[in-house]
Structure 1
């Protein structure tokens, strides 16, 4: 157990010092990890582990939904997409069908990749503005 403590400390520090954008990226990455693991669990007949990992992915999507600002127009467009991802995760879990999980994974991966680009462009813009001052 003591071997994991430095890693846990690193993870806690990373979360505690991350910007809002970085935290969102971490959520997307975690969701992707749990969906992929659930797919492996499903393929290996590990039903309980599959269920646990799908629930973790669902919890992340629900957290992303909770952080949406309803006053911002893009949030209104994201909500139905997050609902769809939750539906796909639920159906994949109930029907033991990886096709549903693959669909959810495609959406989450696309969101994650887009979010990475937003963070990159924002940082480049901030750096450029800082260089001008």
Structure 2
């Protein structure tokens, strides 16, 4: 019980005291994690668990879209928004049909988004 409470306190603190950049990395890491949990749940025919985790992944991309300031970001922001919209649209399709093939095609795209943001974070830290 104590270990569980300590872990939850650590988790809450890591979110509460994280920078905007670190929160973004946590979100994209979560998107990969939840999409893979959703995939496994589809394979196990656990419809509820699949739905919940695919929705969590969608929620992350909806948040990323809501917080992306296209006017500030310029052309790359529009491209990034298109990627986010593509992912979100396809997650809806996956969730409706529990389409493992489509999810298998989509997970590498989600991983690429994660990897890109991690690389951008590393590069931004080198410039400081």
What does 1:1-133 correspond to in 2, within 5 Å? 1-71=1-71, 72-73=73-74, 74-126=76-128
Q: Which runs of 5+ in 2 are unaligned?
A: none
TM-score by length of structure 1 reads: 0.89
Structure 1: 4+ residue segments shifted above 3 A: none
The number of residue pairs the alignment matches comes to: 126
Q: CA deviation at 1:104?
A: 2.4
TM-score by length of structure 2 reads: 0.92
Q: CA deviation at 1:2?
A: 4.2
Contact 1:88/1:103, CA 8 A, preserved across alignment = no
Q: State the Cα RMSD in Å.
A: 1.2
Q: Which runs of 5+ in 1 are unaligned?
A: 127-133
Once residues 65 and 103 of structure 1 are traced to their aligned partners in structure 2, the CA distance between those partners, rounded to angstroms, is 21
Once residues 126 and 70 of structure 2 are traced to their aligned partners in structure 1, the CA distance between those partners, rounded to angstroms, is 28
Once residues 79 and 114 of structure 1 are traced to their aligned partners in structure 2, the CA distance between those partners, rounded to angstroms, is 14
Q: CA deviation at 1:40?
A: 0.4
